[in-house]
């Protein structure tokens, strides 16, 4: 079930009505309803993998209780590593086994040795990387004695499988979400209204911008040998817009939906394309994943402390693991390596925390220096996205070679931008208006948030209706799943 589907448009109001009007405000009943709705939501994708989600949930719940009850440190270690190995083992089998098997066979073939490898013919369970990381953070926090284990299986299961965040995050922490699940929740009109606004903005980003960009991007990346360098540059920029609008659009819908049920999820995006350096970009992009790797991998490795070698090692590890988390393909690993190389100078020269504030805070326009810094950061990010989007390293290098050829001096090929629900000129206008809205709302949690503060009610509703009209008029008639569902 997709957020941008008709089925979800029916599912959400039904659950909302049952949640607020049929549970009598009893927390346990509300949580049982949320758990049932979440399992139904997941089963609509593929009910056969529901057992994997339930097993993973029970494993970490049981492990937490066993660690807390262990009488010795070795006992705690046993249960801790059992949970970690099983969780990582599921990821290794479903997500990475075929990659390692094929890579090993390819390595042997370079020496003239042929090996027929057995591969798994099964699709990747949707959301496995996200709910696995939920469970891992919970188990790690108990092992480090930061939290105590949750005694209610229902409450813990809702933490892992709450349907707004189940398949593509944000990656929650038990310290943040579990207390909200356990406390009494009272309907708050302002919270719900903000949630609906955020859902609307997320749908606009996904259905108007991301899905229409996707048609052009798929055409350009799928047939890069047909187009000149200037068209390929446009394709890379459009993919940067697509992946941001697709993933941040999902996050907006997830956060907005959670607010309808009286809960606040972790913020996942903070206007990353207005960053002035790569370090700032990674503080603003996929925040829940970046902070997860920071807290559970980077800092335990030593972070930015120690010798220059240790600093370089830690940065390389964190970004290579991040790249590999996104997918079992060498393109993601190179994408991670590129970002590590981009950020290393700021780590080594201790400038990575220079831009902690909001760009041009309290101002209408940025300074020329800030504008140039944002453009350079965006260009580096777009270049790295080429590897993220390409089907293989060969395709990525071919794409880049054509960008740095004489063909870049020729005008863009109009045929590359056909097939979407909008023309390229309409899309450019929509993207420009989108970034203008994002810029004006950059000091808030999402772009439309200032409307409830600055704009009179009549004008505000006019803007809502306009956005709904734009979605209806320009949405792609082909229902497209979110990019991060594959991770």
> Is the bond leading into 170 cis (omega within 30 degrees of zero)?
yes
With tokens 């599921």, the residue in question is 90
Can you tell me the distance from the alpha carbon of 310 to that of 317, in angstroms, rounded to the nearest whole number?
10
Which is it for the CA torsion 159, 162, 167, 169, positive or negative?
negative
Can you tell me the distance from the alpha carbon of 299 to that of 315, in angstroms, rounded to the nearest whole number?
11
Q: Which two tokens stand for residue 199?
A: 């859902």
Which residues are known to be catalytic? 326
Helical segments of 327-450, H only: 330-348, 368-389, 393-403, 424-440
Long-range contacts of 465-470, Cβ-Cβ distance < 8 Å, separation of 24 or more: 467/200, 467/201, 467/204, 468/200, 470/204, 470/208, 470/430
Can you tell me the distance from the alpha carbon of 367 to that of 276, in angstroms, rounded to the nearest whole number?
11
Long-range contacts of 188-192, Cβ-Cβ distance < 8 Å, separation of 24 or more: 188/262, 191/259, 191/262, 192/259, 192/260
Distances (CA, A) of 167 to 58, 241, 242: 18, 21, 19
């Amino acid at each position: 079930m997709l957020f941008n589907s008709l089925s979800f448009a029916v599912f959400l109001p039904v659950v909302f009505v049952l949640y607020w009007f049929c549970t009598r405000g009893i927390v346990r009943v509300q949580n049982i309803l949320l758990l049932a709705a979440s399992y139904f939501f997941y089963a609509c994708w593929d009910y056969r993998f529901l057992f994997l989600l339930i097993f993973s949930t029970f494993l970490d719940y049981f492990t937490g209780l066993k660690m807390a009850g262990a009488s010795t440190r070795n006992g705690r270690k046993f249960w801790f590593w059992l949970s970690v190995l099983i969780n990582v083992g599921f990821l290794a089998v479903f997500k990475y086994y075929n990659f390692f098997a094929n890579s090993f066979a390819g390595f042997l073939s370079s020496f003239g040795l042929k090996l027929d490898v057995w591969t798994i013919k099964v699709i990747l369970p949707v959301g496995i990387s996200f709910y696995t990381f939920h469970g891992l953070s919970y188990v790690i926090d108990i092992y480090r004695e930061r939290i105590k284990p949750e005694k209610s299986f229902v409450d813990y299961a809702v933490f892992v499988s709450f349907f707004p965040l189940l398949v593509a995050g944000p990656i929650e922490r038990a310290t943040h979400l579990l207390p909200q699940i356990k406390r009494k929740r009272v309907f708050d009109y302002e919270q719900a209204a903000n949630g609906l606004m955020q859902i609307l903005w997320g749908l606009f980003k996904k259905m108007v911008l991301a899905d229409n960009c996707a048609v052009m991007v798929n055409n350009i990346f799928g047939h890069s040998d047909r187009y000149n360098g200037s068209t390929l540059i446009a394709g890379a920029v459009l993919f940067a817009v697509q992946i941001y609008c697709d993933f941040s659009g999902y996050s907006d819908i997830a956060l907005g939906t959670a607010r309808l049920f009286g809960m606040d999820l972790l913020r996942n995006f903070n206007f990353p394309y207005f960053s002035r350096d790569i370090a700032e970009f990674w503080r603003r992009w996929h925040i829940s994943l970046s902070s997860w790797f920071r807290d559970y991998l980077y800092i335990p490795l030593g972070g930015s402390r120690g010798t220059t070698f240790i600093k370089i090692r830690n940065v390389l590890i964190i970004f290579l693991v991040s790249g590999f988390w996104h997918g079992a393909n060498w393109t993601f690993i190179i994408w991670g390596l590129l970002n590590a190389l981009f950020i290393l100078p700021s780590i080594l020269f201790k400038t990575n925390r220079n831009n902690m504030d909001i760009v041009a805070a309290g101002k209408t326009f940025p300074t020329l220096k800030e504008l140039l810094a944002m453009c350079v950061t965006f260009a580096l990010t777009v270049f790295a996205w080429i590897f993220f989007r390409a089907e293989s390293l060969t395709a990525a290098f071919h794409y880049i070679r054509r960008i740095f050829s004489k063909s870049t001096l020729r005008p863009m090929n109009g045929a590359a931008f056909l097939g979407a629900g909008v023309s390229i000129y309409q899309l450019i206008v929509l993207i420009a208006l989108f970034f203008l809205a994002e810029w004006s709302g950059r000091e808030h949690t999402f772009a439309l948030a200032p409307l409830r503060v600055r704009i009179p009610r009549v004008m505000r509703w006019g803007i809502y209706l306009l956005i709904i009209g734009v979605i209806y008029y320009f949405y792609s008639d082909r229902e497209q799943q979110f990019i991060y569902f594959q991770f």
